[in-house]
């Protein structure tokens, strides 16, 4: 169940960043402000991707799964 949640979260973060970049690029009339905003969004998107990679590692880590299974057994 947690893996499904993590997958949905990952996709939401990535697609949200991509959608923001597309919106800005469509509105862009070539102004410096729009280019700056686009660069900011691209940087934010890369930061979010890095964050998602860390979350993927945590969720797919065998030790994390083992600890979760122990907690589930204790419940």
Question: In the chain, what are the domain boundaries?
Answer: 2-74
Count CB-CB contacts under 10 A for residue 41.
Answer: 19
Q: CA–CA separation, 13 vs 15, rounded Å?
A: 6
Nearest to 12 by CA among 52, 58, 59, 61: 52
The answer to whether the beta carbons of residues 27 and 34 sit under 8 Å apart is yes
Distance of alpha carbon 14 from alpha carbon 41, whole angstroms:
12
pLDDT tens figures, 8-52: 777 787 878 778 777 776 665 556 667 788 888 889 888 888 888
Q: Is the pLDDT score of 1 beyond 80?
A: no
* Residue 37 pLDDT: 80
């Amino acid at each position: 169940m947690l893996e499904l949640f993590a997958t949905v979260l990952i996709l939401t973060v990535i697609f949200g960043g991509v959608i923001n970049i597309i919106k800005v690029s469509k509105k862009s009339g070539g102004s410096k402000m729009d280019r700056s905003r686009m660069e900011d969004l691209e940087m934010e998107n890369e930061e979010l991707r890095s964050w998602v990679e860390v979350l993927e590692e945590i969720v797919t880590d065998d030790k994390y799964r083992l600890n979760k299974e122990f907690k589930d057994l204790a419940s």
